[in-house]
Amino acid sequence: MSWFSELYDLYEKNEEKIGRVEYKTRQGKKGPEQVPLVLLPIFHTTVAAQITVDIDSEGNILGASRVPDEDKMTIIPVTETSGIRTSGVEAHPFCDNLKYLTADYARYVKNEKKDFSKNHKLYIEGLKSWHLSEYTHPKVDALYAYLSKGTLMADLVEEGVLITDEKGVLLEKEKIQIVSQADAFVRFRIIEKADLSQDILNDPSGRYFSECWLDGTLQKSYIKYHRSRLTQTDFCYLTGENVPVSYLQPKKIRNEGDGAKLISSNDEDNYTFKGRFTDKTEAFAIGYEASQKAHNALKWIIRKQGYSWDDLCIVIWESNLEPIPDWGADTDKIEEAYQEAQESEYEGWGEEEEQEEKEYETGAAAAARFKAAMRGYGENLKTDSKVMILAFDAATTGRLAMVENKEFAASRYVDNIKYWHDSCRWLQSKYKDGHNFRYFGMAGVKDIAEALYGTEQKGIISLGGNTRMYAEVCKRLLPCISERRRVPRDIVNAAVQKASSPVSYDNRYNWEKSAFYSMRSGEKAENGSGKGGVESVAE
């Protein structure tokens, strides 16, 4: 199965998660922070909202407020063109920027040269079309009733959400989050009368959420409406069916600010098709919904368990989303992650053994802990389960390249991770829980990159924020860890050079670490099982 089919399959397998906002704990600059995570419905995307407007079911305003930074992620419906808009005029179907939502926008901004009436006209016509269709929704009806009054800007000024000068013009220096007032994105809450006969709290559809971005019935309403407007059909290369197709593929793949596309065909001039085809429709065609599902699954799995360094993004997952060891983690972190996931359920991981290990760390005990963790990972895998490895990089802001695409039997992947850590075992030391912690195993990829290419500052080796170097080391070592490839010769040479210069270090521990990597990388270069042998560099 191709990577695109795997992503499509991933979306289908996790249908119950569609539209549900979950939170992932991530280590931020100020400590742990909660990051929203959602598997998007088709024909939807996420945006950062700055303003929330409350209206009732009759279209009357109830209030408005600024959105705090930690709550800004908002799910919105999009059209085929508005979902990838940049500087052009393309209206979203429901929530949008101020210049689309209000007819009197020009009265409040200092831009006499630009006509914003087209923006609002396009938006209100689109909303009206949905409102008049058989697929309308009570929240759509309420929003259309409110915005048809044309009072949004005045209401926001009256509520104190927008700040104006003495002439009634928006202050240019005033920001909401980090966005200019004039460019603020607005979302809506529709406050309806509670139906006491319904079990509102346990309703899985989200019908009773006043927040429009959480209402699953509103999302389904738009999906039906948008499907009814799709007319161009062709043969889908993925599903083998004659369905509506799209040649405008989604962006925001690696993160919310990512403008690069993985599939693009916007150039039909000169020698684009080199005589093989007459136009792009003969080159490829992917069903609109199939493309949406695959891209949404990719966005979700990247945010769920992907890693990014500079422009490089790597994501690895098991076909049934069973937990698998982190390829870039050190041995101790792999053991710890498994222990937390299993809550010490695995035999031999009892509280007594764990405490003894902390006090009397030995090579045999550490090996037993790691072996137990890897065996535990393997026991959770089905015989036909697979592991997908995808890596993406971008040389320009608009195009995304797939630099790695591998598919393994899941058991083979786990065995290869185990082989890497077993064959590179050494007494390691790291700072953990406020003190120096020693363990037997292999260091993480980040530690390797810092030891081989970093500089020592005040006794600590660091790359000084050089994320591109992290990315390059990760890209080079990924096949060594996941496929048992031999360590590239230039990495071996870098390790040897570091180990040969002990006088370059103030802290002996840093030199010892480099010496260890020199010895181990040399062994992996000589004894690795890669078909191509030791990689060579130009000399």
Q: What is the mean pLDDT of the chain?
A: 85
**Distances, alpha carbon 323 to alpha carbons 34, 317, 370, in Å:** 21, 8, 15
When pLDDT is cut at 50, 70 and 90, the band that residue 521 belongs to is low
The residues, any chain, with a CB within 8 Å of residue 69's CB and separated by 6 or more, are: 177
Q: Is residue 527's pLDDT more than 60?
A: no
For residues 102 and 492, the model is more confident at 102
Q: What is the pLDDT of residue 243?
A: 93
State pLDDT tens for residues 401-428: 999 999 999 999 999 999 999 988 888 8
State pLDDT tens for residues 174-214: 999 999 999 999 999 999 876 655 656 566 666 778 999 99
Q: How would you write 321-378 as a 3-class SS string?
A: CCCCCCCCCCHHHHHHHHHHHHCCCCCCCCHHHHHHHHHCCCHHHHHHHHHHHHHHHH
Helix (H, G, I), strand (E, B) or coil at 98: helix
DSSP result, 29-96: TTEEEEEEE-BPPTTEEEEE--EEEEEETTS-EEEEEEPPGGG-EEEEE--TTGGG-SSS----SSSE
End-to-end CA distance of the chain: 40
State pLDDT tens for residues 126-180: 999 999 999 999 999 999 999 999 999 999 999 999 999 999 999 989 999 999 9
Percentages (nearest 5) of helix, strand, coil residues in the chain: 40, 20, 40
Would you say how long the chain is, in residues? 539
Provide φ and ψ at 389, rounded to 5°: -120, 120
The residues, any chain, with a CB within 8 Å of residue 446's CB and separated by 6 or more, are: 328, 470
State pLDDT tens for residues 232-290: 888 888 788 899 998 888 989 998 888 888 887 666 666 566 667 777 777 778 899 99
Q: Is residue 352's pLDDT more than 60?
A: no
State pLDDT tens for residues 445-477: 998 998 888 888 777 788 888 888 999 999 999
Q: What is the pLDDT of residue 538?
A: 31
Q: What is the C-alpha to C-alpha distance for residues 71 and 526, in angstroms, rounded to an integer?
A: 52
Q: Is residue 349's pLDDT more than 50?
A: no
Q: What is the C-alpha to C-alpha distance for residues 346 and 324, in angstroms, rounded to an integer?
A: 16
Helix (H, G, I), strand (E, B) or coil at 15: helix
CB neighbour burial string for 237-260, b if at least 16 within 10 angstroms, e if fewer: ebeeeebbbbbbbbbbbbeeebeb
Q: Which of the residue ranges 116-120, 126-130, 358-362, 422-426 has the most confident prediction, judged by mean pLDDT? A: 126-130
Instruction: Using a pLDDT cut of 70, give the percent of the chain over it.
Output: 86
* Ramachandran sector of residue 56 (left: φ over 0; alpha: ψ -120 to 50; beta: rest): beta
pTM: 0.87
- Please say whether the beta carbons of 517 and 424 come within 8 A: no
Q: Is residue 106's pLDDT more than 60?
A: yes
Q: Could you tell me which of 406, 424, 240 has the C-alpha nearest to residue 317?
A: 406
> Facing residues of 211 across strands?
189
Longest dimension (CA), the chain: 79
Helix (H, G, I), strand (E, B) or coil at 386: strand
Helix (H, G, I), strand (E, B) or coil at 397: coil
When pLDDT is cut at 50, 70 and 90, the band that residue 532 belongs to is very low
Q: Is residue 358's pLDDT more than 50?
A: no
